[in-house]
Amino acid sequence: MDTHEPRWLDAEERQTWLSLAAMVINLSNALDAQLQRDAGISHFEYQVLATLSEANERTMRMSDLAAVTNGSLSRLSHVVKRLEKQGWVRRTPDPDNGRYTLAVLTETGWEKVVATAPGHVEEVRRLVLDPLTQAHQRTLRTIGHRVNQAIDPTSTCQE
């Protein structure tokens, strides 16, 4: 049994942590609200569609898509099922390896991304980029990279 005393947060560290935790929750809620209001989709659904829109041939293995969107394969499967019902994504066996399933953005899905992206990027600008100077943005990018590396040392997030 570990008898080491935890490294408790001092007052400044606690304020830093609480500020970050609130920002993560509030930003997630705000982006979800904007996308639900304007496009009828969740932020995670948008991330799936947008990621596929940028992929080679608008196609990715489900396992790779889950990793890139930071979702579990189970969560992604449920979301892709909903997106399939809308006609925005289709699933197909990977012809190179039948053990994998590919997610493919349909033409209708592409149109959804094209219609949704302007409002989403404007909200990202309003909430995150516009309130910050370029120096703040660089610092935030570095902080994000370092925190992501602490969470997952194999993270490909760039500093």
Note the pLDDT tens digit of each residue in 141-152: 999 999 999 998
Is 72 part of any domain?
Answer: yes
| Position 149 in a domain | no
Residue 151 in any domain: the answer is no
50 falls within a domain: yes
Q: Considering the domain boundaries, does residue 128 fall inside one?
A: no
Q: Give the range of the structural domain holding residue 111, as residue numbers without chain letter.
A: 40-116
Which residues, including other chains, have CB under 8 Å from residue 119's CB and lie 6 or more apart? 34, 35, 38, 39
pLDDT tens figures, 96-116: 998 999 999 999 999 999 999
Does residue 28 belong to any structural domain of this protein? Answer: no
Bigger pLDDT: 87 or 5? Answer: 87
DSSP string, 141-157: HHHHHHHHHHH-TT---
Cα→Cα distances 7→4, 10, 13, 120, Å: 9, 9, 11, 39
- Do residues 76 and 69 lie in contact, with contact meaning Cβ atoms separated by under 8 Å? yes
Q: How far apart are CA 65 and CA 23, in angstroms?
A: 26
Q: Position 35: which residue type?
A: L
| Closest by CA position to 89, among listed 116, 119, 112 | 112
pLDDT class of 159 with cuts at 50, 70, 90: low
Count of domains for the chain: 1
Which CATH number fits the domain that encloses residue 99? Answer: 1.10.10.10
Q: What share of the chain is helix, strand, coil (3-state, %, to 5)?
A: 65, 10, 25
Contact 151, 70 (CB under 8 A): no
Backbone torsions φ then ψ of 93, nearest 5 degrees: -65, 145
